[in-house]
Structure 1
Amino acid sequence: MARFNANEFNRKVREAQRRVVRQINQKIDQINRANRQAVESHNRRVREIERQENARRQQAVGRLNAAINDHNRRAQSHNRQVAAELSRSLRSASSPVQYTEPERRLADRVQEAVAAIDPRDYDSFLSYARIDGQEVATELRGRLEDLGVAVWFDEVAIVPGRSQSLQMDAGLRKARSGIALLTPAYLAGRFWTERELGALLSKSTLIPVLHNVTFDDVRQYSGILPDLAGFTTASDSIEDIAHKIAAAVLPE
């Protein structure tokens, strides 16, 4: 009977263990490679999806920008046509609405100045005193917008819950011209109207509209108004004044 060799037995056990470890490690390597390949494949699909999505977004943005540019071109063309038609009709002898000579000079001067300014969000900022000018201001703003004039008007433009003064300052900056509806309360020197008028005086295009006051009243109020030429509801209806202002402020 062969004698049991413990050393040989232990050697074989260790060799068997090494083979098992190598097999386990090989299996682990295979699993890791498969996982890496799966991850890389997934990442490639994600990148391809992101690339396609970015391409779709860029195409959508391009189409949107093209549509906006086309709309702006059509709007500018429409405004030029409206302004030209209004100017022709107001200067026509057969028109029921007529400029006086000071009004015509004011409209020509305003139109020249507005045409030289870069387009902004609003054609004009309407400044008024609520205590006695709200009804007329609301009607004037409605008439102007019907004619295609973009008017900054506090009741519409100011968003509740945000700083009123900051929103008003933004409107004053964005508007290419100003309209001051001068009423007795306006000439009394209220804080908001004084602030608005001060900002509007920095623009080259300020159109006074007088309601229940005279040019003498305005002259006595302050000498800071550079030109007393303007429009007055004592001579024209709000609709006629709106047509005259629109013909002046809409870029040709």
Structure 2
Amino acid sequence: MTPSSDANRIIREMKAAQRKAEQQANRELKKAVDEANREIDQQNRKVEQQNRRAVAEYNRKVDAHNREADRHNQKEVDRINRELSRTASRPTVSYTESERRLSDKVQEAVSTQDAREYDVFLSYARIDGSEVASSLKGNLEDLGVSVWFDEVAIHPGKSMALQMDQGLRRAHAGVALLTAAYLAGRFWTERELGALLHKSTLIPVLHNVTFKDVADYSGILPDLAGFTTEQDSVRDIAEKIAAAVLTPESP
């Protein structure tokens, strides 16, 4: 065998050994990658199971809390409805002398108002009207109506009565969200309604009460043009209120 053929053989053997080494390395690399991917998949499945369990546990707690809140709210509404059903007419509301003076002061101040910083004052009873009132406020503000709303306008550390009086004075019109709790006759809503009746525009919005309930509560409110959530959505009601309070008055 010539030196040239020996060299060629050696080169071939080296290339074959190199290919074999590369193939072995590739097999080992593929095996390592496959193993790593299996471990990653296993870890992902484990994390996903943990997340599902955590979400399920959280949802169970939320559902339990919501059911408890619903039961509490329903009990309160049922109690108020029982009170309403026991009376054929609005119960007589009694005031202390200081409450009476404060109410008279508010009505006198409202009747002489000369400035407008809010388009409407939204009066409601929190116990069963908070959710609808918040939705109505949001829709009115989307339509460009400025709303005095206690949850936003009342600042802690200051007299709530005085802040409410200012809102009543500075509102051009009133919106009364009439619910079962509102018609039960509570001091704050009675005060607000007494002041709002002095406005040139007062719009009643009925929610889960009938016009007969309102008539039993007040002889004035049924004569005012208003709306009910039984017939219109909160958005539709907001649009109708906005059209009424934002239309420029004739000179």
TM range (shorter): 0.5 to 0.7
* SS of the residue 1:123 aligns to: strand
State whether structure 2 residue 137 is matched by structure 1 residue 132: no
Tell me how far 1:214 sits from its aligned partner. Answer: 1.1
Aligned to 2:236: 240
SS at match of 1:177: strand
The reply to whether residue 187 of structure 1 matches residue 204 of structure 2 is no
Give TM-score scaled by structure 2 length: 0.52
Are 2:175 and 1:147 equivalent residues in the alignment?
no
Tell me how large the CA RMSD over aligned residues is: 1.5
Bigger Rg, which one: 1
**Distance across 1 between alignment mates of 2:124 and 2:150:** 10
Q: Which aligned segments of 4 or more residues in structure 1 are displaced greater than 6 angstroms?
A: none
Once the two structures are TM-superposed, the CA of residue 225 in structure 1 deviates from its matched residue by: 2.6
Q: What SS does structure 1 have at the residue aligned with 2:223? A: coil
Gaps of 5+ in 1: 1-116
Superposed, 1:162-201 pairs within 5 Å as: 162-201=158-197
Corresponding residue for residue 250 of structure 1 = 246
User: Share of identical aligned residues, percent?
Assistant: 77
Deviations 1:8-31 (A, max 9, x none): xxxxxxxxxxxxxxxxxxxxxxxx
- Measured after TM superposition, the shift of residue 222 of structure 1 is 1.6
Instruction: Confirm or deny that 1:160 pairs with 2:170.
Output: no
Tell whether the 8 Å contact from 2:124 to 2:189 is kept in structure 1 after alignment: yes
Higher relative contact order (CA 8 A, sep 6+): 1
- Cα pair distance change 1:192/1:233, threshold 3 Å: same
Query: Superposed, which structure 2 residues align to 1:35-54 within 5 Å?
Result: none
Give 3-state SS (helix, strand or coil) of 1:165's partner. helix
Q: Once the 2 structures are TM-superposed, how far is the Cα of residue 226 of structure 1 from its aligned partner?
A: 6.6
Gaps of 5+ in 2: 1-112
Q: Distance in 2 between matches of 1:182 and 1:135?
A: 13
Given candidates 216, 221, 230, the residue that maps to 1:225 is 221
Question: Could you say which residue in structure 2 is the equivalent of 1:67?
Answer: none
Structure-1 separation of matches of 2:210 and 2:194: 20
**Correspondence for 1:206:** 202
